[in-house]
Amino acid sequence: MNKIEILKSERDGLKIKEDIPRFAKEGWESISEDDIQRLKWYGLFLRNPTPGFFMQRVRIPNGICFSHQVKALCDIAKEFGNGIIDITTRQQVQLRHLKIDDIPEIFKIQDEVGLTSIQTGLDNIRNIMGCPVAGLSPKEKVDAYSQVKALTEHISGNSEFSNLPRKFNIAITGCTDDCVHAETQDLALVPAVQELAGNSVYGFNVLVGGKLGSGGYRIATSLNVFVASDEVVKVCSAIILLFRDHGNREIRSKNRLAFLIEEWGEEKFRTALQEKLNQPLIPAGVDLRSNEKSEHIGVYRQKQASMSYVGLKVPVGRIHADKLQGIAHLAEKYGNGEIRFSHSSSLIIPNVPDQKLGDLLEESLVKEFTYHPSSVMRGLVSCVGIDYCHLATIETKSRALQVAAELEGKLPDTAPITMHWSGCPASCGNHLVADIGLLGKKIKIGKEVVDAVDVYMGGRTGIDPKLAVKVMEDIPCDELAKVLEFVVPYHTREKMHPIKGKKYKRNWKKAPARKNAETELANEGADKNAVEPN
């Protein structure tokens, strides 16, 4: 058994909460290495680059929260942390520089406003993602937020789900735009319609076994199952429990659900699911997603009359608590207090009535975190980087900003493009599903060691998923903008999509390719990350 399996078998991670008051009294150095790992069941990560200080990952189901919750997080960041707040690519929030001494008080404040960091690390079901404009978008077919909430409530603090073989990523979306990277998730529910007893029923098709990171991108494949809204919790729970009971528990770099699906095949997994549920499964319906991709940045009409939502870019997802507090205030003044986080480093103020919209757009914070960023900045995403993550080879966030700023100047009118940075092959910045994916590394030029990247192109999720191709290696970061200046105008997003206007139906019988030797080889180095349980 690997060391994480041993520590889980010795004590359920959820039980570590009882010990936190004692750790707070005795200090971080009194905490054993096993308990440092167990604290990840409550989203507490002791970070090597900042000895003695913890990062806390707070769960925000579907990325939807309210101003009083955001203000509480900002107060915590300022009083107990370093004031920095990261909006992550799983639509949650990370606070930094927290001392274990203050965690009981921090938990109390979060509890009072209905926030928790439970099960956000290690072998748990991570924040359940959803379309950040669920319930608002006129294009939406099903409002999946209630299913995201119901499943989150079912798994949170539930010891049936607190010892999985590895982390488990879920997205449930009713949005027709590809905005949650469904094909990268262990389990994704995407909008679909199925004829049942002569009626068109709107619900979800089920995709399983997607992943990024160690070993590369595996495109989630269809289970050929349709789920109606009221069956979501039951079916998802059964899938997770199949993974819990049959997933590999030996080699941590080979134990995501993807590997069980590869071993069993979709047919066997579907049969096992049917047996577990003890009911016949409904075959997949028609996939209702279009080939659009949206970061939901800009001003958009809602399905509710006379209402709009405003999506603002937070470049590389990092924001100071003072500014976020200001945005929470704007959400109260112009909207209904709601704030939504997207996976692509943006935040959304919904429910702005027409008569208030003009004034909101004049606010200085709205101009700063603009709703009309440049084509380069709009799709810019970066992982944490060397400031806080010891696995990073380069400082991704500042490099990402610097290169984007240079490119903005050179290519002010280019078509929208997604540019994602990861500081190591763990791929937390999702670089394998971007128009341009940048993987950080160090290279030697003469005697000097410099920051560099490998460049990937064309990786995508959605109805026409594609594996990324590595097109260049060892580009020094200082030269990158110069190189990309000649590549970006010819990037192939449009060319790689099927022809516009055509009606797309996924052929559920022909699942997308299951393996990509090229990408696997390209990411061989990722296995080293298995030494850092995340």
Is-contact 113 69, C-beta < 8 A? yes
Phi–psi pair at 180, nearest 5 degrees: -125, 10
Q: Counting contacts by CB under 6 A, is residue 383 touching ligand SF4? A: yes
CA pair distance 150, 208, nearest whole angstrom: 20
Active site residue 166: yes
Enumerate residues 48-67 that contact ligand HEM by CB under 6 A: 55, 57
389 binds ligand HEM (CB under 6 A): yes
Q: Which of 40, 47, 71, 166 is catalytic?
A: 166
Q: Is 384 in the site for ligand SF4 (CB under 6 A)?
A: yes
Task: Report residue 20 as tokens.
Answer: 């936190």
Binding flag, residue 391, ligand SF4 (CB under 6 A): yes
| Residue number, 308 or 345, with CB nearest to ligand HEM | 345
Task: Tell which positions 127-186 bind ligand HEM, by CB under 6 A.
Answer: 127, 184
Residue 212 sits at the vertex; the CA angle it makes with 16 and 504, to the nearest 5 degrees, is 125
Instruction: Point out the catalytic residue in the list 8, 71, 90, 167.
Output: 167
Is 52 among the catalytic positions?
A: no
User: DSSP per residue over 284-296, as a string?
Assistant: P-EE---S-----
- Is the CB of residue 28 less than 8 Å from the CB of residue 1? no
Tell me which of 163, 214, 237, 418 binds ligand HEM, using CB under 6 A: 214
Identify which range of 209-217, 226-234, 268-276, 407-415 contacts ligand HEM by CB under 6 A.
209-217
In what helix (H) or strand (E) does residue 519 lie, and over which residues does it extend? helix 517-522
Give a three-class secondary structure readout of 146-158.
HHHHHHHHHHCCC
Distance set, CA 429 to CA 80, 114, 159 (Å): 27, 28, 30
Among 281, 312, 319, 389, binds ligand SF4 (CB under 6 A): 389
User: Which of ligand HEM, ligand SF4, none lies near 67, with the C-beta cut-off 5 to 8 A by kind?
Assistant: none
Residue 235 in contact with residue 277, Cβ under 8 Å?
yes
**Catalytic residue at 57?**
yes
Picked from ligand SF4, ligand HEM, none, the partner binding residue 125 (CB below 5 to 8 A depending on kind) is: none
Name the catalytic one among 317, 429, 459, 462. 429
> Strand 436-445 to strand 64-66: parallel, antiparallel, or no bridges (unpaired)?
unpaired
Q: Any alpha helices (H) in 207-351, and if so which ranges?
A: 232-246, 257-264, 266-277, 321-334
In one-letter notation, the amino acid at residue 450 is V
Please, which of residues 407-446 interact with ligand SF4 by CB under 6 A? 422-424, 426-429
Binding partner of residue 126 among ligand SF4, ligand HEM, none, CB cut-off 5 to 8 Å per kind: ligand HEM
**Interface with ligand HEM (CB under 6 A):** 47, 55, 57, 88-90, 92, 94, 126-127, 184, 212-214, 384, 388-389, 391, 426-428, 430, 529-530, 532, 534
**What are the catalytic residues?**
57, 166-167, 423, 428-429
